[in-house]
Every structure is written in C-alpha cells, then in structure tokens.
Amino acid sequence: MFSAEDGAMALIEPAVEKYELHFGNTFPLYEYIEMTQSEGWDFSVEGGKKLIAFIEERIKNDDPVEVPADYEDRTY
C-alpha cells in the first residue's frame, strides 16, 4: 500500500493525465516513486511538484519516458 500526503495526488493526477493525453500512452508513475516521495510519504506535495516539472519538460521536448514491457502486469 502506498501513502499519500494531503494534496499530493491533486498535483500528481492532473500531471499524469496531461502526459497521457499528450503522448497517448501510460505514464509509469510507480517507476518514478523515488521522485514523488519524501520523508514518510510515497506521494508527497514536494514530490508532486518535482513530478510536474519533470512531466512538463518531457512534454516540451516531446520526449516520452520508457514504459517497461511488463509495467501493466505488475502488482504494486
């Protein structure tokens, strides 16, 4: 089970949706959990801000991230 700081998912979910609409592909959020976490949280507000910047840069550069072949089949 993952933990989310209040307000974190309100930042993360729209950024992921924007990415997926732009590229037409799944954003592998759990591959970037180290970016979104902070002390005590898997998904933090601070990490959400980092993820937004990361996604915005990928969109700006039209550079999608690699999605592992088995990503959709994994259990988290």
**Range 48-75 average pLDDT:** 94
**CB distance 49 to 56 below 8 Å:** no
Q: Is residue 76 part of a domain?
A: no
Query: Domain residues for 31?
Result: 8-65
CB 36 within 8 A of CB 42: yes
pLDDT band at 53 (very low <50, low <70, confident <90, very high): very high
In this predicted structure, the answer to whether residue 75 has a pLDDT above a threshold of 80 is no
Can you give the pLDDT at residue 71?
A: 87
Q: Is residue 74 part of a domain?
A: no
Q: Is residue 60 domain-resident?
A: yes
pTM of the model: 0.90
In a domain, 12, yes or no: yes
How many structural domains comprise the chain? 1
